[in-house]
Amino acid sequence: MVNNGPSFESLSAMFPLTWPVPTPLTHPDLFTTRDIYREEDLMRNSDSFRQWWSAIISVKDAAVAEQKLASTSTLQTSPIELQVLGPQLATAEGRLALQRLTYLYESTLARFPTSFKLWKAYLQMRCLYVLGKGTKKKRAGSRKKWAEMKEAMEDEEFELETYDDGLDPVVGWLEWKALIATFERALMWMPTVRVTSQCILGTVG
């Protein structure tokens, strides 16, 4: 009998990865020894947005490096996992990275829930893992000056964004559901968020 890879049930059973929100109590592998020092530093500077933001960037950079290393191994991922889960979630390292980032973003949002910059970066991160990488396709007449952005957003010829290589919505429907719930939470905070010019222009980080 030929083994064609993991079954639908085994793949679907992995989700959702982000709900309930992962914590060190429920997911002991969220932390490594070096993360303890980071957490202690955050607790000492819990009111510093810069400190929390730096921690997010550090964890994100480490996740990218680990996933690149994991992607070089052909033994860890089957073709069906790559096709169904997408490159971001096809490896155990990628799934753990999503949980680590989710924990850190949620911990930061608990302290700074009105930061537009934080919400935007969080939603972009979650979309990357679930939807895949977005590519923008311009249609004729989509060039607009910043002063005309409001009208451009209502223009049917405005720049469109498509996504490729994301999580299959049937296998991972619980993860998609968790992502939608996160967007709904963000919308609830929108009337109170603080928006900076850097966030409006898309230069998060």
Q: What is the pLDDT of residue 142?
A: 47
Look at the block and give the residue holding tokens 């990488």.
133
Q: What is the pLDDT of residue 159?
A: 52
- Quote the pTM value: 0.80
Residue 40 scores a pLDDT above 80: yes
CB 118 within 8 A of CB 50: no
- Rounded to whole angstroms, the Cα distance separating 187 from 24 reads 28
- Rounded to whole angstroms, the Cα distance separating 46 from 75 reads 41
Alpha helices in the chain (DSSP H): 8-12, 33-44, 49-71, 79-85, 92-109, 116-131, 149-153, 173-189, 197-200
The continuous run of DSSP H or E covering 116 comes out as helix 116-131
- Rounded to whole angstroms, the Cα distance separating 111 from 96 reads 23
CB 99 within 8 A of CB 17: yes
pLDDT tier for residue 197 given thresholds of 50, 70 and 90: very low
CB 157 within 8 A of CB 142: yes
Q: What is the pLDDT of residue 158?
A: 44
Q: What is the pLDDT of residue 202?
A: 44
Residue boundaries of the structural domains of the chain: 8-132+169-200, 133-166
Q: What's the rounded mean pLDDT across residues 160-174?
A: 85
Read off the pLDDT of residues 101-135 as tens digits, 9 standing for 90 and up: 999 999 999 999 999 999 999 999 999 999 998 76
- Rounded to whole angstroms, the Cα distance separating 24 from 13 reads 21
Q: What is the pLDDT of residue 33?
A: 83
CB 168 within 8 A of CB 85: yes
Around Cβ 5, how many Cβ atoms within 10 Å? Answer: 15
CB proximity list for 69: less than 8 A, separation 6 or greater: 93
Round the average pLDDT of the chain to a whole number and report it.
82
For a pLDDT cut of 90, what percent of the chain falls above it? 53
